[in-house]
Amino acid sequence: MNILEGPGSLSLPEEINTMFNEGPEDVLPEFKVSTGRLRPPEHPGLAKFFYAFTKHFLFYCPIVSVLEIGVGGGASAVGFTKAMAGGGIMRCIDNNSYKTVNYPEDCKANILATGFNEGNLHMYEGDSKSILDNNFPPSDLTHIDGDHTYEGALYDIIMVINIMKLNDERGYIFVHDIDNTREWLIERTKEHPHPVYEAFMEAAEDYKLPWKILTNIGKHLGVLEI
Ligand SMILES: C[S@@+](CC[C@H](N)C(=O)[O-])C[C@H]1O[C@@H](n2cnc3c(N)ncnc32)[C@H](O)[C@@H]1O
């Protein structure tokens, strides 16, 4: 399977696809959350993609910092931290609004099970809109998967772009759940039938950032390069 398939102007190195296909099938088979909830079907694949992407990124940037907004139980975050093998910094944000996992306990346990160093793990509890400000540290890689309303997703994406620009940093921003071929998000409205997709495309156009949509990842993953 070519994991890099999909529309967009951003070209991603073929090595990421090779690493994805040669990497572990499931980066954390022992993943669990205390509520007993199972991982959504796309999440082992999403974690596997982040594992491959981070491994590739580490060739060029020996210390990587990662932020995930809407990290939940860490089903996708474990891909980053497994690849980081104890080094680098992982920042997690969640307001526990879905109540499908116990945050931060479940997330922390899963991330530490990948061998990540507890001292490099920063867990923030609350609404991303009150946690992210211009003083929040920039990250090389950011995964946005929190508020899925059009306004909420747009806020998170723009805030992360602004933090990167203020610090003159480069990196990648991932945005999950942007499949615009289905109308399945409960956050959809008449004005915004594909809320996260619309926020992603609007930010890419307004800030003139190269973008790509990876359609072979469940519920589609957007990538912005900054
Ligand atoms: C789709 S789930 C994320 C799944 C997660 N990325 C994973 O890998 O398992 C969305 C998460 O975002 C959180 N969330 C929703 N709105 C938020 C907000 N405004 N600020 C912070 N977290 C939020 C929810 O509590 C939920 O855990």
Ligand 1 atom at shortest distance from the alpha carbon of 152: 19
Q: What's residue 86's pLDDT?
A: 76
Residue 99 has pLDDT above 80, yes or no: yes
Report d(CA 224, CA 187) in Å as an integer.
22
Quickly count: other Cβ atoms within 10 Å of residue 187's Cβ: 15
The CB of 111 under 6 Å from ligand 1? The reply is: no
- Which ligand 1 atom lies nearest to the CA of residue 100? 27
Which tokens belong to 82?
């497994």
Predicted local distance difference test score (pLDDT) of residue 63: 84
Top mutation candidate among 136, 147, 155 for ligand 1, by most atoms within 8 Å of CB = 147
Our count of domains for the chain comes to 1
Q: Is residue 198 part of a domain?
A: yes
30-88 pLDDT tens trace? 999 999 999 988 888 999 999 999 999 999 888 899 999 999 999 999 999 999 987 89
Q: Provide the pLDDT for residue 215.
A: 97
The CATH number covering residue 98 comes to 3.40.50.150
Q: Is 104 close to ligand 1, i.e. is its CB under 6 Å away?
A: no
Asked if pLDDT for residue 159 goes beyond 80, the answer is yes
Q: Which of 28, 50, 68, 98 has most ligand 1 atoms within 8 Å of CB, for mutation?
A: 98
Nearest to 3 by CA among 42, 49, 34: 49
On whether residue 4 sits in a domain, the answer given is no
Domain assignment present for residue 18? The answer is yes
Tell me the residue range of the domain where 119 lies.
14-225
Please tell me the distance between residue 14's alpha carbon and the centre of ligand 1 in angstroms: 30
Q: Is residue 97 part of a domain?
A: yes
Q: Is 3 within the bounds of a domain? A: no
Other C-beta atoms lying within 10 Å of the C-beta of residue 167: 13
- Whether 5 is in a domain gets the answer no
Tell me the two tokens of residue 87. Answer: 């080094």
Q: What is the pLDDT of residue 65?
A: 97
Placement of tokens 């479940």 in the chain = 106
**Within-domain flag for 6:** no
Q: For residue 99, give the ligand 1 atom closest to its CA.
A: 25
Report the percent of the chain where pLDDT is more than 70: 100
How do residues 182-198 score in pLDDT, each as one tens digit? 888 999 999 999 999 99
Question: pTM for the complete prediction?
Answer: 0.98
- CA–CA dist 95, 55 (Å, integer): 29
Ligand 1 touching residue 192 (CB < 6 A):
no
User: 205 C-alpha vs ligand 1 centroid, how far in Å?
Assistant: 25
The pLDDT tens digits for 100-143 are 999 999 999 999 999 999 999 999 999 999 999 999 999 999 99
Q: How many helices (H) and strands (E) does the chain have?
A: 7, 7
At residue 102, the pLDDT reads 97
Q: Tell whether 9 is covered by a domain.
A: no
DSSP letter string over 101-156? S-TTHHHHHHHHHTT--GGGEEEEES-HHHH--TTSPP-SEEEE-S--SHHHHHHH
Q: Is the CB of 9 under 6 A from ligand 1?
A: no
